[in-house]
Structure 1
Amino acid sequence: QYIYDLMHPTISYLKHKNLLWQASHTQPTGHGQHTGFKELDNALQGGFPEYGVIDIRSQIGIGELRLLLPSILTRQQQKPTELVTFIAPPLSINSEMLAEFGFALDQVMVVQPLLNKQVLWSTEQSLKSGCCHSVVLWHASLSVTQVKRLQVAAEKGQCLLFIVRQPQQEHISLPVTLGIQLSPSKVGIKAQITKRKGSWSNASFNVYMGAYWPELSQSEDSKVLTFPSRASRAG
């Protein structure tokens, strides 16, 4: 192994910076914060990490925020004095929906900066402040260096950052704790784990959201009803 590293200084450097995953280094199962959805918990072998950066690649308005709410609510209940912060949301955050779901609105903060540099500054300050348990950031383009700074800030503040980005945006592999690709589904949302420390990428799977929002989800066991033909009715 030592000789191999000498022959490949780049590999040695990446390993030293914890930017290289090896198949022999796997994470133990059963850890993490439950997401509120059994299908997602099973795919993540427990749930979301306690803190770090999660990259969510999703179209806007397909239920991506609703997918995160049960886990964020649990974190608020566990840390009632800390905030959940939404930064640069592309649409208005519905306070009535949050209140109905169980959020304490005085512990919810929405930040809408005018400049791009203010967005990243606000995110980094929120993460490392120790005042937030969760931060949700909508951002079009992030560099590896910027994500590294956010990762360090999240670890310092013991905070979980969700970055929501459009799926067609840049395909650079960011140094995040977890990556998830989302797409629409009749039962709720379709998800695929694209990046996870200590694990391979998995096939896509459906997350049934009807337990929380039955009016927005088709039943898992729903069947298409076929009507008899005119000839059979005549008989």
Structure 2
Amino acid sequence: MAISLSWADGEHTPEAPQPSSLASVPRWPVVLPHAVESAIWRGDALGTPVTTTVGTGFEALDAELPGHGWPCQSLTEVLQVQSSVLEWRLLAPAMHTLVGQGKQIVIVGPPKPPHLPGLKHLGLDERHIVWIQADKPVERLWATEQLIKANAAGMLVSWLPQARQEQIRRLQVCAQSCDGPVILCRPAAAEHEASAAPLRLQARLGIDWELHVHLLKRKGPPHEGELTLPSVPGGLDAILTPRLRHPSRLIAARKRQGQSQGLPQDISREFSHAVGNPSSRRPSGRSAPAH
């Protein structure tokens, strides 16, 4: 038996609108507080971090990063095939900005000692560089965690090739209270390992003095392809001739010349053509070196 409900004034309850009439019901946009709106991330767009960032110094890279720079209060992983080859060239512009603000750059366990003349060419003052020599993995991990907790660096760069997933996760939790970017340099093989770092990128060197960067993980849509970042090593920009600024053109010309003559060209001869052919004569009285 159907029971008819009525309002207090005796009128019948109005019927619910039919699905066809729902489209005519006005929908007012929901206005959220700024703090809440900034914390919402939609998966088809770059995230807008609540924390601050430090510009990378490369416009193309900044355009692809959430917040347009290296994130603070967060981990960033830089993966590469061989360590101590391109980290300084990739991070030096941001370091230069932080040093200009009077902040310290702390590096933990670099595979090779920092080259002070090279740092000067990059615009870095050695008085703002703190080098912590830690040879064992456990020492590097401990020093990195303590520095993050102490919030003692404008930027912290640590080489952790053997860090495990749970250790990276612990560092990420600690980094949320650190005011500066925390950069972890790891091998390229770590690409296939899970990581709690919100930002991960893989970098490699190009033949024309550039850096190729692929974003493996970011707060946003997947990154397709590679970014090409111009990066002539410090000290070479003033002495490179126009021909040597583009070795790829010399190599291509060498290949075309070899193909026209029907001669095979290997990569060693191509590179030697770019920098000059060494003499084939051996010094008298000396035997040929063993290979």
TM-score, scaled to structure 2: 0.61
Of 154, 158, 166, which residue of structure 1 is paired with 2:175? 154
In structure 2, relative to structure 1, the CA distance for the partners of 1:67 and 1:37 (3 Å cut) is same
- Is the Cα contact below 8 Å between 2:73 and 2:177 reproduced in 1? no
Deviation at 1:157, TM superposition (A): 2.3
In structure 2, relative to structure 1, the CA distance for the partners of 1:83 and 1:201 (3 Å cut) is same
Are 1:136 and 2:164 matched, yes or no?
no
In structure 2, relative to structure 1, the CA distance for the partners of 1:96 and 1:118 (3 Å cut) is same
Q: Where do 4+ consecutive residues of structure 1 move more than 4 Å?
A: 215-229
User: Hey, what does 1:40 align to over in structure 2?
Assistant: 61
- Is the Cα contact below 8 Å between 1:210 and 1:216 reproduced in 2? no
Residue identity matched to 1:92? P
Q: Secondary structure at the match of 1:157?
A: coil
Cα distance in 2, alignment partners of residues 26 and 34 from structure 1: 16
Residue identity matched to 1:69? A
Q: Secondary structure at the match of 1:151?
A: helix
Task: Kindly name which structure, 1 or 2, has the bigger radius of gyration based on alpha carbons.
Answer: 2
Over the residues paired in the alignment, what is the CA RMSD in angstroms? Answer: 3.1
Q: Secondary structure at the match of 1:168?
A: helix
User: Hey, what does 2:287 align to over in structure 1?
Assistant: none
Q: Secondary structure at the match of 1:35?
A: coil
Higher relative contact order (CA 8 A, sep 6+): 1
- Is the Cα contact below 8 Å between 1:208 and 1:220 reproduced in 2? no
Cα distance in 2, alignment partners of residues 222 and 118 from structure 1: 42
Q: What is the count of residue pairs matched by the alignment?
A: 206
Residue identity matched to 1:27? G
Quote the sequence identity (%): 22
Are 1:206 and 2:228 matched, yes or no?
yes
- Is the Cα contact below 8 Å between 2:140 and 2:159 reproduced in 1? no
User: Hey, what does 2:108 align to over in structure 1?
Assistant: 87
Cα distance in 1, alignment partners of residues 169 and 199 from structure 2: 13
Deviation at 1:53, TM superposition (A): 0.8
In structure 2, relative to structure 1, the CA distance for the partners of 1:191 and 1:160 (3 Å cut) is same
CA deviation profile, 1:160-201 (whole Å, cap 9, x unmatched): 111111112472120102101112212311110000013323
User: Hey, what does 1:67 align to over in structure 2?
Assistant: 90
Are 1:49 and 2:91 matched, yes or no?
no
User: Hey, what does 1:120 align to over in structure 2?
Assistant: 141
Cα distance in 2, alignment partners of residues 189 and 144 from structure 1: 27
Deviates more, 1:150-159 or 1:218-227: 218-227
Residue identity matched to 1:52? S
Q: Secondary structure at the match of 1:43?
A: coil
Higher strand proportion, which one?
1
Provide structure 2 residue ranges, at least 5 long, that are not aligned to the other structure: 1-40, 258-291
Cα distance in 2, alignment partners of residues 184 and 114 from structure 1: 26
Cα distance in 2, alignment partners of residues 117 and 28 from structure 1: 34
Q: Secondary structure at the match of 1:103?
A: coil
Residue identity matched to 2:142? W
In structure 2, relative to structure 1, the CA distance for the partners of 1:112 and 1:198 (3 Å cut) is same
Cα distance in 1, alignment partners of residues 93 and 162 from structure 2: 27
Are 1:186 and 2:207 matched, yes or no?
yes
- Is the Cα contact below 8 Å between 1:27 and 1:199 reproduced in 2? no
